[in-house]
Amino acid sequence: MQDYLEFLKEKGYKLTKQRCKILECLEKHPSLSAEEILSLVNQEIEVNLSTIYRNLNLLLQMGLIRKSNQLSQSDYFELVRQNCSHDLLCLACGDKVSFSTCNFNQLAKEIESETKYQVKHHNFEIYGLCPKCVPKKTEM
Amino acid sequence: MQDYLEFLKEKGYKLTKQRCKILECLEKHPSLSAEEILSLVNQEIEVNLSTIYRNLNLLLQMGLIRKSNQLSQSDYFELVRQNCSHDLLCLACGDKVSFSTCNFNQLAKEIESETKYQVKHHNFEIYGLCPKCVPKKTEM
DNA sequence: ATACTAATTGCAAAACTTTCGCGATTAATA
DNA sequence: TATTAATCGCGAAAGTTTTGCAATTAGTAT
């Protein structure tokens, strides 16, 4: 947590209480929508939805969080962590399980030397049918 | 192309001209927003935006397309292809390059036996800074 | 402590994206 | 050609995200 704050401060961004609370929420939960962050933060301090969005956009640009819109209408935001975790989502019912396997560090190096980009993070989602939904879908 | 159509027909969905055109567009372009599909299809036949969305949702559920919302506000849709291609996006300017490396087939097998899910496709995006933006960001 | 300044916030409105209900149309089948 | 379930278009609604602007605040210097 402290790392994120110092990182932002170094870049010249202020550590407002709203911003800190937003990061705190993201740290406590694996994945949150803007609305969810709003109500979590509002339990402790007052904050406006536009502030949530402005901060999320800043954090996205900084590469501190990533966004994914799984199977729902709105976006979900998650902190970029060391031990990256990914989701496997069921196309039929939306159920999900997490998996961690993903030898990304190696791939990142290859890609960096190939493209000259400085790789920050990634987003990896797998879609399929969960054990419950497989039968329904194949007999259709 | 024919494969997609047969697949849908087998499942009992009608091959309307709107649906066919939408698939045709997705096949010709690597990635499209709903609005982009609308204007592409409208160049040939009349179609309504809600029809676009309804079809995109169907195709998503069928696992024929995937969606990603890269760095923009709206979603982007792409056909799930054999030779999967992925994007590396610049957090600062939005530029992107594609990369194909991704030994997914192997990983998919592992995940299937581990989770009992039937894996259909995946979404893999990498974020970073492009060569032009790296200097700007590090000196900040 | 106080003053200063640029960054940030809240608010209200706007812009944009996506979904939905319903009557009309159409593709597929008999 | 008739039938029917799926699909479409339209208009409205719902939901999500952004924006402008005046007021506030964190961080720094005095």
Q: In this predicted model, what pLDDT tens digit does every residue of B7-33 receive, in sequence order?
A: 999 999 999 999 999 999 999 999 999
Q: Percent of chain B having pLDDT more than 70?
A: 94
DSSP code string of B124-136: EEEEEE-TTHHHH
Answer yes or no: are the C-beta atoms of A61 and B91 closer than 8 Å. yes
Question: What is the rounded distance in angstroms from the CA atom of residue B62 to the CA atom of residue A120?
Answer: 32
Residues 6+ apart with CB under 8 A from B71: A60, B89, B91, B94
At B40-54, the pLDDT tens digits run 999 999 999 999 999
Report chain B residues touching chain A, CB-CB < 8 A. Answer: 11-12, 60-63, 66-69, 71, 75, 88, 90-92, 97, 99, 101-102, 107-108, 110-112, 114-131, 134, 140
pLDDT tens track for A2-17: 899 999 999 999 999 9
Is the per-residue pLDDT at A137 higher than 60? no
pLDDT at B70: 67
pLDDT band for A49, please (50, 70, 90 cuts). very high
pLDDT at B87 over 60: yes
Intra-chain end-to-end CA distance of chain B, in Å: 48
Whether the beta carbon of A61 falls within 7 A of nucleic chain C: the reply is: no
Q: CA torsion sign, A131 to A132 to A134 to A138?
A: positive
Separation of CA A2 and C1' D6 in angstroms? 56
Query: Residue B93: what pLDDT?
Result: 83
Task: Please report which residue ranges of A1-140 form alpha helices under DSSP H.
Answer: 2-10, 17-28, 34-42, 49-62, 104-115, 133-138
Element (H, E) at A78: strand A76-79
Among all residues of chain A, which has the CA nearest to that of B130? A117
* pLDDT number for residue B139: 45
| Smallest CA–C1' distance to D18, residue | A50
Q: What distance in Å separates the CA atoms of residue A54 and residue B66, rounded to the nearest whole number?
A: 27
Mean pLDDT of chain B: 89
Closest C1' nucleotide to B8's CA:
D6
Residue A136 confidence class, pLDDT cut points 50, 70, 90:
low
